[in-house]
């Protein structure tokens, strides 16, 4: 998994991948760090089905602002370039898998 979404890649990632999950986080955020192993595991395991990228809100505040990120961690799910769902706060692996599976089946 690529560690960080570069600002210049942001639009390309969303527009050129059918299924995208952005994880908005910060290094100092405890819940973000708790979620990190699950994000890495699913990014590796589901790499052929969904593109998962992390966005550090301290390094890229303009991206966070564009999506109205007020709390972290925040996960935003994109289908064919459109934001379709968001989850704020911690989420367990099972529930995150369910959200990803529902995203893949949207038309």
Per the residue annotation, which of 29, 42, 76, 91 is the catalytic one? Answer: 29
Q: Compute φ and ψ for 26, nearest 5 degrees.
A: -140, 150
Continuous segment of H or E residues that includes residue 59: none
| Residue 88 a catalytic site member | no
> Is 14 known to be catalytic?
no
Helix (H, G, I), strand (E, B) or coil at 95: helix
**Which is catalytic among the residues 20, 22, 32, 69?**
32
Beta bridge partners of 82: 79
Q: Measured between alpha carbons, how far is 81 from 44 in angstroms, rounded to an integer?
A: 22
Closest by alpha carbon to 22, among 57, 53, 47?
A: 53
Catalytic residues: 29, 32
């Amino acid at each position: 998994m690529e560690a960080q979404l570069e600002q210049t890649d942001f639009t390309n990632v969303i527009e050129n991948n059918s299924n995208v999950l952005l994880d908005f986080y910060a290094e100092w955020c405890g819940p973000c760090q708790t979620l990190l192993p699950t994000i890495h595991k699913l990014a590796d395991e589901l790499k052929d089905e969904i593109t998962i990228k992390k966005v550090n809100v301290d390094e890229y505040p303009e991206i966070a602002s564009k999506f109205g990120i007020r709390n972290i961690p925040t996960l935003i799910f994109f289908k064919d370039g459109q934001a379709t769902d968001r989850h704020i706060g911690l989420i367990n692996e099972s529930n995150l898998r369910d959200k990803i599976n529902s995203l893949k089946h949207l038309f």
